[in-house]
């Protein structure tokens, strides 16, 4: 039970990391292929990320802690599990709760989500589900047979040709069960209404802000780790390299966002969620820097300043949250100062005037 719980927790952790890294591309692709983002499809993709790692953690973990273990055997005779079930049931008399029966059932269930996700998220049919199930199962069994490709002196888990059959059947079954999902919610192809403009809501604006926060954090952290690794090789003193790496990471992230905003007038979060600002009372050469100064990248720069200047980051965050709820389209400080509305970028040219419907809440 502890091994199963540990494998599950490891799968959730690794899946969460993958989902976090893929968050911005996922949002951008969703808005371009399906016109928007739904909670149900987001949860499905997050579940798929966790499931992908669950396949490996449940079949390969735990690994031996030392080379002192008994080498596992192998089964090369197809459908031997049928004879094993017959023999086990003849002794126990339990058709549904016998451990051998449960083991086979669990192997089937382990690959059912694979076929389901391939059809619902990928739009792939039964043939692809079977081939992918067979391929992944083959890689797993071969990895077990070779002791994780030579890392261990011999196999620490049994290579079983029946697992190839059972797992493939599970993937096929999952593909069939996916027919229960309405056709309009299946597949990764672009939906017919993907280019229809949609209202800019507070939730959509909040999603864009979250994309900016996550993106700035990922770029800054990635650059900081790389810079610190290089400095450690050159300087060799972690105490002296930490601050330099952090400042460099924040600077690079801010520059990336600045270049994107100056070039497009929109942040990466705006681009991902397909929103844009209308023209307002400010000229473009002033409105675009203002967009940067009121965004997530500027917050990172301000937060890195020494006290009391770092307090300005807190004030910017508070102002952003307040503006998010003052205006129905969540236009923020840059929209308020420049009298600019947020619209879907699939709309045509929109009048720069501030209409009553998008005005502040009374």
Q: Is the pLDDT of residue 330 over 60?
A: yes
Helix (H) or strand (E) holding 159: strand 159-160
* Sequence-separated (6 or more) residues with CB below 8 Å from residue 119: 125, 129, 174, 175, 178, 179, 181, 186, 187
Mean pLDDT of 18-37: 93
Burial class of residue 346 in the structure, from the number of CB atoms within 10 Å of its CB (0-12 exposed, 13-18 middle, 19+ buried): middle
User: Two tokens at 16?
Assistant: 């969460």
Q: Are 134 and 157 in contact, with CB atoms under 8 Å apart?
A: no
Q: How far apart are CA 262 and CA 256, in angstroms?
A: 10
- Domain range annotation of the chain: 2-185, 202-358
pLDDT digits (tens, 9 = 90+) for 38-86: 888 999 999 999 999 999 888 888 778 776 778 888 888 999 999 888 8
pLDDT digits (tens, 9 = 90+) for 223-255: 999 998 888 887 766 666 778 888 899 999 999
* Sequence-separated (6 or more) residues with CB below 8 Å from residue 150: none
Burial class of residue 145 in the structure, from the number of CB atoms within 10 Å of its CB (0-12 exposed, 13-18 middle, 19+ buried): middle
* β-bridge pairing 275-277 and 342-344: antiparallel
Does the pTM surpass 0.75? The reply is: yes
Q: How far apart are CA 124 and CA 154, in angstroms?
A: 37
Q: Is the pLDDT of residue 356 over 60?
A: no
> What pLDDT score was predicted for residue 239?
63
* Sequence-separated (6 or more) residues with CB below 8 Å from residue 66: none
Q: How far apart are CA 263 and CA 123, in angstroms?
A: 36
Residues forming beta bridges with residue 159, ordered by sequence position:
74
């Amino acid at each position: 039970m502890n091994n199963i719980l540990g494998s599950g927790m490891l799968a959730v952790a690794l899946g969460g990391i993958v989902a976090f890294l893929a968050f911005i591309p996922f949002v951008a692709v969703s808005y371009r292929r399906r016109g928007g983002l739904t909670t149900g499809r987001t949860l499905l993709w997050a579940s798929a990320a966790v499931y992908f790692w669950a396949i490996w953690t449940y079949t390969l973990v735990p690994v031996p802690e030392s080379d002192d273990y008994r080498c596992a055997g192998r089964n090369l005779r197809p459908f031997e599990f049928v004879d094993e079930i017959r023999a086990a049931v003849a002794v126990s008399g339990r058709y549904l709760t016998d451990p051998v029966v449960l083991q086979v059932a669990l192997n089937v269930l382990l690959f059912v989500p694979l076929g389901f996700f391939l059809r619902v998220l990928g739009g792939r049919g039964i043939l692809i589900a079977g081939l992918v199930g067979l391929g992944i199962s083959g890689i797993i069994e071969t990895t077990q047979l070779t002791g994780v490709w030579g890392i261990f002196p011999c196999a620490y888990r049994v290579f079983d040709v029946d697992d190839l059959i059972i797992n493939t059947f599970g993937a096929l079954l999952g593909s069939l069960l996916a027919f229960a999902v309405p056709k309009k919610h299946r597949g990764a192809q672009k939906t017919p209404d993907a280019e229809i403009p949609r209202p800019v809501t507070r939730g959509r604006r909040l999603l864009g802000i979250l994309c900016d926060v996550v993106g700035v954090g990922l770029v800054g952290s990635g650059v900081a780790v790389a810079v610190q690794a290089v400095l450690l090789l050159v300087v060799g003193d972690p105490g002296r390299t930490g601050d330099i790496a952090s400042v460099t990471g924040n600077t690079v992230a801010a520059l990336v966002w600045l270049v994107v905003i100056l070039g497009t007038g929109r942040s990466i979060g705006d681009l991902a969620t397909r929103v844009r600002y209308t023209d307002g009372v400010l000229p473009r050469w002033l409105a675009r820097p203002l967009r940067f100064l009121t965004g997530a990248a500027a917050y990172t720069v301000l937060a890195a300043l020494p006290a009391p200047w770092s307090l300005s980051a807190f004030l910017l965050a508070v102002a952003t949250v307040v503006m998010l709820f003052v205006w129905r389209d969540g236009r923020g400080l840059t929209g308020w100062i420049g009298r600019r509305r947020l619209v879907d970028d699939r709309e045509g040219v929109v009048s720069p005037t501030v209409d009553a419907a998008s005005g502040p809440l009374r």
